[in-house]
Amino acid sequence: MKSLRSKITLSGTVIFIVSAFFASKTYEAYQDLQQTQESLSHNLLFRDFVQNIKYHDLDFKKNQKELMEKLRAFRRPIVEKERVEAVSNLIQALNSFSKELRQRRIVELLEREKAFYGLLSVRQDYHKKYLTYYMFLALASPLVGLFLFTIYLLNSVVMPLQKLSQRMMDFLIDRYTFKLATPANNEIGDLQRTFNSLAQRAINNVEELKALDRAKSEFVSIASHELRTPLTSIKGSLGLLSGGIVGDLPADAVGFIRIAEQETDRLVRLINNLLDLAKMESRTFKLNSEWISVQKLAESCLGSLQGLAQTADVYFAIQSDNPTLEARLDQDRIQQVVTNLISNAVKYSPKKGTVTLRYSIDLQNNLEIAIIDQGPGIAEHDQQLIFEKFRQATQPESKLVKGTGLGLAISKALVEEHGGHIFVNSKLGHGSTFSFTLPEWRQSEALIPQQGEAA
Amino acid sequence: MKILIAEDDANISTIAKVVLERVGHHQVDVATNGREALDKALATNYDLLLLDGMMPELSGTEVCRQYKDQCPTPTPVIFLSAKSTQQDIQEFLQLGEGYIQKPFNPQTLCEQIEMILKVAS
């Protein structure tokens, strides 16, 4: 018998049968006792009755008369007064004799009944003893049975379940204790075996995912190398030509080489962006969060784009009601987002326009950074689209730098990696505001999930 | 300055050599694999080693490690690599004095090198 189910059913049945047996025995003993007690009371009543039988209760006179009449009718010719008297005397004598006899028999009867009473009392004591005995067993057997049954349940059901759940918890924190356990030969063992195979499968899946991730990282790394190597030669050669390092070129040629150089740079940016995106999509991406001054971050972003702003004839402004604000974030990554948003804003700004960087703590206690431009604005149906890969609403008029169509997709991924959201608020003709929130800007290192290795 | 360029891609080493010779007026030697680069670096007193990250025989980082182990007075090392992951960049900066991302701009290559050397010293 292996299964817990049959064991539990069997022990339950045994407890029930034993208890029922003792209960029926108790009932029997009770009935016997009652019967004995009834007999005892009958015995007492009978003795009482017999003792109270009096001689005069019997109608001897009536018998005498009847007898005399019978005698007269029988011996009519010889009826004499003396004889009648003699018969009467005889009857009286008989009567007195029968009275004595009767008395003697009553005494005999009473003595017999008394003896019977003694016997019944012994029997009553015996039944009482057995009734107590069976009552005790009838009460004790289910109690003891339940006690043993509970211990059995604790040992073979609750304890193994507890151990199993402990193993599951261990598994959650990557301690693989389930490998050590030998499953019992019952339902809980089955459960454990199922869990073991699930755990093994999960581990295999994780290993597979890790292998895939490694393969992807490797691919990204090789692809970046393989794409950049020829680009290095192209860019280098063009640079040598356009820089006049290998001699002067005709004016027309300089123009075309400039085009080739610009497009090469665009290709380099596109590759960099694609690799960034690939890195972020693989789980090997890791944030390097540290405490920095938001004001400094803003200044550094605007500073790096000062050249672009001057070329486009656009002004920069910083707005904040809390210039000493410090936040915990990955400086390089957030700088990448802010720089991207600002360069977009500059590209779409009109001449003499202003691009404003505003940072503040919003009502939900998030750090919010907004880039506000005075450009043409974005139509409502384009506003979600622009965060997708390779999507642009309209090309900027200035065409200072051609976009790769990946900037906002990367910004979105980076902000989401920080636990935040990026969104746009714009109306055609009224400029655009790109904002993003960083909810985890105050969190300590331990609270920011860091998974995988650096790619 | 006397500079050793270790680079397995002949086009890139040619361009870098031309840039360094004509723009920076440096004296340039070229090695085409890691082993050759290490031998040359140990045999000659260069002022700077420009090492490619990925090379046959020995990788740039391996060349740098062995060079700094074996040479009593090592010269600064700058990696010139197409690798751009955080891990790689960290390794480059730990082993050498600096790192220039490929594709580099030939017109500013010499300035970049000067900047790195200034920061390193």
Q: Are residues A239 and B11, on separate chains, in Cβ contact within 8 Å?
A: no
Q: Residue A194 contacts by C-beta under 8 Å, 6 or more apart in sequence?
A: none
Confidence of residue A452 (pLDDT cuts 50, 70, 90): very low
A288 touches chain B (CB under 8 A): yes
A234 touches chain B (CB under 8 A): yes
Q: Are residues A279 and B22, on separate chains, in Cβ contact within 8 Å?
A: no
Q: B73: distance to nearest CA of chain A, Å? A: 32
* Best of B59, B84, B94 to mutate (most A CBs within 10 Å, chain A): B84
Cβ atoms of A419 and A287 within 8 Å: the answer is no
Q: How many CB pairs (< 8 A) connect A and B?
A: 84
Q: B18: distance to nearest CA of chain A, Å? A: 8
pLDDT tops 80 at residue A379: yes
> Range with the lowest mean pLDDT among A152-156, A170-174, A409-413?
A170-174
Instruction: Point out the residue among A220, A233, A454 whose CB comes nearest to the CB of B15.
Output: A233
Q: Which residues of B fall within a CB distance of 8 Å from A267?
A: none
Q: Are residues A239 and B16, on separate chains, in Cβ contact within 8 Å?
A: no
pLDDT tops 60 at residue A337: yes
pLDDT at B47: 92
DSSP-derived 3-state class of residue A436: strand
Bridge partners of A316, per DSSP, are A355
A452 touches chain B (CB under 8 A): no
Task: Please give the structure tokens belonging to residue A376.
Answer: 């043409």
- Report the distance separating Cα A105 and Cα A94, nearest Å: 16
- B15 to each of A161, A210, A232, B4, how far by Cα in Å? 71, 40, 9, 14
Average pLDDT over residues B85-94: 87
Bridge partners of B36, per DSSP, are none
Q: B23: distance to nearest CA of chain A, Å? A: 7
Nearest residue of B to residue A245, measured between CA atoms: B22
Instruction: Point out the residue among A231, A246, A264 whose CB comes nearest to the CB of B18.
Output: A246
Backbone angles phi, psi at A98, to 5 degrees: -65, -30
pLDDT at A217: 74
Over residues B30-65, the pLDDT tens digits come to: 999 999 999 999 999 999 999 998 888 889 999 999
From the centroid of its chain, how far is CA B8? 12
Q: Residue A32 contacts by C-beta under 8 Å, 6 or more apart in sequence?
A: A127, A130
pLDDT tops 60 at residue A78: no
- Report the distance separating Cα A174 and Cα A88, nearest Å: 123
Enclosing H/E stretch for A253: helix A251-281
Confidence of residue A195 (pLDDT cuts 50, 70, 90): confident
A271 touches chain B (CB under 8 A): no
A455 touches chain B (CB under 8 A): yes
pLDDT tops 50 at residue A116: yes
Q: Are residues A239 and B106, on separate chains, in Cβ contact within 8 Å?
A: yes
Q: What is the pTM of this model?
A: 0.53
DSSP-derived 3-state class of residue A358: strand
Cβ atoms of B97 and B116 within 8 Å: the answer is yes
A237 touches chain B (CB under 8 A): yes
pLDDT tops 70 at residue A190: yes
Q: Which residues of B fall within a CB distance of 8 Å from A227?
A: 82
How high is the mean pLDDT of chain B? 90
